[in-house]
Amino acid sequence: MNIPVLSFIILKGKCSCCPERISIQYPLVELSCALLFLLFFDASHPFTTAGLCVALCLLLAVAVIDFRHFIIHHALLTAVFLCFLPAVILQNFVWQYHLAGMLFCPGFIWLVSRSVKLVNKRDNLGGGDILLGFVLGFYLGPYFSMIMYSIASMLGILYWLIASKSNRAEKEPLQIPFGTGMVAGMIVLEVLLLPKFISSFKFLKIMVITDGFVAEMLSLI
């Protein structure tokens, strides 16, 4: 009853104890976890990539929960941060770069949120989004955090365009699961920075070179 994906297929999408159907969300999340491990696990760097893979799976849970319930659990973010530690420290660690990311990413998100609040007179971003920015900023650094935030913003606009046409959006203020967009932006960025993608699309090297330049400049401070 609890074998990822296979149980859903064997049980034909129904509970074994009653006729209730099992949500397609479960096998999709399980397949997504498997795909993340296939994409990112590197046997030559087991500790680094193990931390990254587990962190990405936890972030997947963060994204799904935020999308469904507009909640980001702090315990999950703490676990993600701890899993990111080996992935950051065991590589080319420039503490100034990651510290700058921890300050820039949540700070920028907070500043945009406050600016929007001055216009529409209501809160538009939760504290969980700020803490998620803190964790992602630690891993990505300031430069990649900016790219991640841009991707998340585009996904948020797309969500708003689709959701604003629904009947539900007309009855109550529309909420946007921005944490989901941030996680999706981070995963998209990580996929684009995989060596096989960089070698296939030469323009991606610009991002890597610029990131290294920012890190080098911050290390001199």
Condensed to tens digits (0 to 9), the pLDDT of residues 82-111 reads 999 988 888 878 889 999 998 888 887 777
Domain span at residue 155 reads: 93-219
pLDDT value at residue 169? 47
Q: Are residues 102 and 209 in the same domain?
A: yes
Higher pLDDT, 83 or 117: 83
In sequence order, what are the residues at sequence separation of 6 or more whose Cβ sits closer than 8 angstroms to the Cβ of residue 180? 63, 64, 66, 67, 155
Contact 83, 128 (CB under 8 A): no
Contact 145, 189 (CB under 8 A): no
Phi then psi dihedrals of residue 176, to 5 deg:
-115, 125
Higher pLDDT, 173 or 40: 40
| CA distance linking residue 176 with residue 157, whole number of Å | 9
Q: Are residues 127 and 215 in the same domain?
A: yes
38-42, 71-75, 121-125, 129-133: least confidently modelled range = 121-125
Place of tokens 């700058």: 100
- Domain-embedded: residue 211: yes
- Domain-embedded: residue 40: no
- Domain-embedded: residue 168: yes
Contact 56, 36 (CB under 8 A): yes
Buried b (16+ CB within 10 A) or exposed e, 94-123: beebbebbbebbbebbeeebeeeeeeeeee
- Domain-embedded: residue 150: yes
pLDDT tens digits, 13-39: 998 888 899 899 999 999 999 999 999
| CA distance linking residue 21 with residue 201, whole number of Å | 43
Q: Are residues 116 and 214 in the same domain?
A: yes
- Domain-embedded: residue 38: no
Overall domain count for the chain: 2
Instruction: Return mean pLDDT, the chain.
Output: 87
Tokens of 34: 């498997």
- Domain-embedded: residue 101: yes
Centroid of chain to Cα 81: 12
pLDDT value at residue 121? 64
Q: Are residues 209 and 125 in the same domain?
A: yes
Contact 192, 145 (CB under 8 A): no
pLDDT value at residue 58? 96
Q: Is the pTM of this model over 0.75?
A: yes
Q: List, as own/partner pairs, every contact residues 68-76 make where C-beta atoms lie below 8 angstroms and the sequence separation is at least 24, other chains included.
A: 70/126, 70/175, 70/177, 71/128, 72/126, 72/128, 72/129, 72/131, 72/132, 72/179, 73/128, 74/128, 74/131
* Alpha helices (H) in the chain, listed in sequence order: 6-10, 25-40, 46-69, 74-89, 95-120, 127-163, 167-171, 178-192, 195-200, 205-219
Q: What mean pLDDT comes out for the span 173-187?
A: 89
